[in-house]
Chain A
């Protein structure tokens, strides 16, 4: 008999409930509210003087509206209710050269509070050149039911995922990255959404495992939290999460099997699509089914610790963003109007932002125009909102890295979009 209720997930690491336990979120919330009010006030000027700079004002209004809408919608977000749903479940880990973490990833899956007879774990070795296969076999000694698929040569992650799906016997497919570690309750929670047959996929929540390693990982910690808890939560409200992160995502196997061959053979501009598998699989689900986010089904994942790895990962993501956003734009208008509106809006900004940044900050250094202090102020305000949100929810001093990340993004990462656009057909792997 399955328990009717699972214990709540503690999002915050509450080390003693001192004054700060109440005070920090209170202050953060007040500051956050003040920030929102101030943004609203600034936007009034955009409306009042709209025709003086129609393009700039449209951009300014829309981007603020977009960001604020994320916060507002996410406030209405509720994770799927725990209804004691227990379908058969196949967890698939497709990996290449992950000898350090693969064992722990599999161990975590087996340590789940999920009935053993309903759970199967499939590890796919995609032609690793290190001891990954040996690690898998070592784990198999502890967990004899572990199924290992070994390609013998490298075929690509997509093939690994597909092979896992084909081999699986469970109703629900759970894809877990080989550097992500699920909690004991994660599997039990992530399947709850599937009680509704209209749900095609559920995206889990990912925390940064190595958050305190260095400056870069600290920034990513805040970034991840906001990207999941705010952006995906907002998208989830209309059942249109744009990307089920590869760290942890569950799919209804029957729906995956419908499109598996087509997905496997997907090509874009004449080149086989070999990266951004999570985003493209999500897109196939989005065509027909609802895709939601479950903030309580959490895992922790290792993020890049060096800038080189980080930039490679970001470029890969950007390229897949370019490809899949283009593909999704052909059908997203059929989705819920709010989802469609925000999808197209969200697709526009990364294309325009570099121009705006260039105009507001970069060109002035070459003597063209003046530095737009208002833009810098607005950007700071917005990034402070992200940081304060993080602080208010998690009471963590890491929040300032969120502000830093916004500037990091504005000054450095923003340019990658155009590079990704130009090189979207180049397919080589940016390995971690």
Chain B
């Protein structure tokens, strides 16, 4: 190239605009920083405010939420009204982290009325519609995402950048909904397909369906991958899991599948949620089976308010047992007809009592009539892993223990018959470790029946039509909570003392033999007739709560003594401890009650009964339905 041509093509250097370049780069960097801090700004920094040791936690589950009115989904305004109504009722939103810390014992208290908002599937429209409301209310929420949707970049669902921003705002926590969920997979040789999560996959190379272990491994792997993916993409730990299918036990009759799901719930996450009619949890709830109430698209704010209030056991005492939302059907339908409740369905129908899962001891009374088939009074365990039931048909009645999709174990059979077309009087008392049933005004057995485990969950009436449509009519219905009654007695009771207890057995929850004496010098064991107590417990369905008596000279360090006593009692597999404080000055008694409340919140299913009660405790009224320490009634 000649110099002349080179000269012609000579260009100016960009350094002539160095200032512009610098300015532009600086502006660009500033804008990028500003955008980053703006997009990832924290909206909600603090956890919940002051609370109580024994809160009630209501968990609401929403499917898709949309911006505009749509009969198939909850819409934005509807949600806003619902949440504002709950806020007016004193609910305070809490996040998964607070909840997990509470169940781990790292957080002593939660707001008395805690509300956990959860949204399933990770719909984009949900985030769009809900986010402004959360910002307004300063309430946190959890979004459960099924990561296969993010992998597939399904445009209806949230993508990772948005999820990261949501998590950074402090308003949202991202939970796992599994990875593949209900994606269809091949389940047999013919090419039949079924949901990934409840059917055994067909293994074409081996010409068989996977076995229980293989299914369990696959279910766990799915969860593990989902969790790892979310943690990697969002950069925060995944605290909670919500199974992608609501009621696995109903969706499949395969016990190994159900079993695998049970295991999956508790394996990888601090919290796991299951669907429930009421969605109310408390300190004693299993963090791997926290109950969520699924909000139906047609529910107005008023309906939700009523349902939550009923689930909390907050209906006015004088309100009729048939007040709306107190008995809620799961299968079939229920309606009030005058003074009776009529429950009906094509083959099965049921109704469940709101707030019954919060009652340890209760009594159910009713006049019942079925038109055909069988009637059962059922109580599910909180984690839905088992249930006990009393009921039967025109031939006989039984007390049974049942695991979903598994065999039924009959604990006892009774001659009492449930005759279709006739009104029967029913009374069921659930207390201690047993149950007492009266049918048509007469006990079905001489003594209460013992229940080998102690489920605590919703109580319901279930009717099977037996080939005909199921129908149940209920009148004079009453469900009420009972006091926990423990009968103090010596470690080696006399025959008279035992007879007196047996006379009171229907209402008596526990025997409380004196076992330990606590003084300045330590614990002293008193002789205990363990064999007799074990037989009595088994025969009459009583719990055994050994008594520790605090001598006045223990007043200096009662708490240390009690700790030792608790350890000893727990070691011997007793259900709890009764603390006799009668010999102590009032301030020491108060100190002990406070200690017991805190201690009971740390232990699960361990009763601490402080007697006589110190009547001046302010904390008794702070809980929504009861104080932290169970107060017994001497009998």
Report the separation of the CA atoms of residues A291 and B14 in the bound assembly, to the nearest whole angstrom.
Answer: 16
**B14 near A262: Cβ-Cβ < 8 Å:** no
Q: Which of A50, A53, A259 has the most CB of B within 10 A?
A: A259
Question: If the complex has contacts A51-B159, A52-B155, A52-B159, are A334 and B8 also in contact, measured as CB distance less than 8 A?
Answer: no
* Chain A residues with CB below 8 A from B17, complex form: 335-337
Main secondary structure of the interface of A (DSSP, over half): helix
Which residue of chain B lies nearest to A288 when distances are taken between CB atoms in the complex?
A: B12
Q: Is the CB of A334 within 8 A of B7?
A: no
Q: Answer yes or no: B11 CB below 8 A from chain A CBs.
A: yes
Considering only residues 1-40 of chain B, those with a C-beta below 8 Å from chain A are 4-5, 7-14, 17, 20-21, 24
CB-CB contacts below 8 Å: A232-286 with B: 258-259, 261-263, 284
Interface residue A331 (Cβ < 8 Å from any Cβ of B): yes
Q: How far is the CA of A338 from the CA of B22 in the complex (A)?
A: 12
Separation of A52 and B125 alpha carbons in the complex (Å): 13
Using A51-B159, A51-B161, A52-B159 as known contacts, say yes or no to A334 and B11 having CB atoms under 8 A apart.
yes
A365 interface contact, C-beta 8 A = no
| Residues on the A chain within 8 Å of B12, using CB | 287-289, 334-335
A331 near B11 with CB under 8 A, answer yes
Collect the chain A residues with CB atoms within 8 Å of residue B11's CB: 287-288, 331, 334
Interface residues, chain B, with chain A CB atoms under 8 Å away: 4-5, 7-14, 17, 20-21, 24, 124, 153, 155, 159-162
A-chain residues with CB within 8 Å of residue B153 when the two chains form the complex: 52
Whether A333 sits at the interface, judged by CB under 8 Å, is: yes
Q: Which residues of A contact B (CB under 8 A)?
A: 49-53, 258-259, 261-263, 284, 287-289, 331, 333-338
Which residue of B5, B11, B153, B162 has the most chain A CB atoms within 10 A of its CB atom? B11
Contact assessment for A262 and B8 in the assembled complex, using a CB-CB cutoff below 8 Å: yes
Nearest-CB distance from A268 to chain B (Å)? 14
A50 to B155 alpha-carbon distance, docked (Å): 11
Nearest residue, chain B, Cβ from A339: B17
Q: Which residue of A lies closest to B157 (CB)?
A: A52
Q: Which of B7, B14, B159 is close to A258, meaning CB atoms less than 8 Å apart? A: B7
The CA-CA distance from A338 to B20 in the complex, in Å, is 8
Top 9 closest A-B pairs, CB basis? A262-B8, A334-B14, A259-B8, A287-B11, A331-B11, A336-B17, A51-B159, A337-B24, A52-B155
Output the least CB separation between A52 and chain B (Å).
5
How many Å lie between the Cα of A319 and that of B347 in the bound state? Answer: 79
Q: A52-B159, A335-B14 are in contact. Are A262 and B9 (CB under 8 A)?
A: yes
Residues of A within 8 A of B24 (CB): 337-338
Residues of B within 8 A of A337 (CB): 14, 17, 20-21, 24
Q: Is the interface of B mostly helix, strand, loop or mixed?
A: helix
Give Cα A51–Cα B7 distance, bound, in whole angstroms.
Answer: 47
What are the residues of chain A within 8 A of B9 when measuring CB–CB? 262, 287
- Pick 16 A–B contacts, CB within 8 A, sort by A: A53-B155, A258-B7, A258-B8, A259-B8, A261-B4, A262-B8, A262-B9, A287-B9, A289-B12, A334-B11, A334-B12, A334-B13, A335-B14, A335-B17, A337-B17, A338-B20
Would you give the shortest CB distance from A253 to chain B, in whole angstroms? 15
Q: Which residues of B contact A333 (CB under 8 A)?
A: 14
CA distance A50 to B159 in the complex (A): 10
Shortest Cβ distance from B23 into A: residue:
A337
> What is the CA–CA distance of A287 and B10 in the complex, to the nearest angstrom?
7
CA distance in complex: A333, B11 (Å): 11
Q: Which residues of chain B are within 8 angstroms of A51 by Cβ–Cβ distance?
A: 159-162
- Which of B5, B13, B160 has the most chain A CB within a 10 Å cutoff? B5
**What B residues does A284 contact at CB under 8 A?**
8
The residue of chain B having its C-beta at the shortest distance from the C-beta of A287 within the complex is B11
Contacts of A258 on B, CB cut-off 8 Å? 7-8
In the assembled complex, the Cα of A333 lies from the Cα of B16 at a distance in Å of 12
State the CA gap A207–B10 with chains docked (Å): 34
| Distance of A162 Cα from B162 Cα, bound (Å) | 60
Query: Most chain-A Cβ atoms within 10 A of its Cβ — which of B12, B124, B161, B162?
Result: B12
Cα separation A298 to B155 with both chains bound (whole Å): 52
Closest-CB distance, A413 to chain B (whole angstroms): 32
Cα of A145 to Cα of B214 in the assembled complex, Å: 102
Closest chain-A Cβ to B539's Cβ sits at a distance in Å of 67
Chain B residues with CB below 8 A from A338, complex form: 20, 24
Give the residues in chain B near A52, CB-CB below 8 Å: 153, 155, 159
| CA gap between A284 and B21 in the complex, in Å | 23
Distance in angstroms between the alpha carbons of A258 and B9 in the assembled complex:
10
Q: Which residue of B has the minimal Cβ distance to A330?
A: B11
Please state if B4 and A288 are interface contacts (CB–CB under 8 Å): no
How far in angstroms is the closest Cβ of chain A from B362? Answer: 52
Determine the distance from Cα of A261 to Cα of B4 in the docked complex, in whole angstroms: 9
| B8 contacts across to A, CB distance below 8 A | 258-259, 261-263, 284
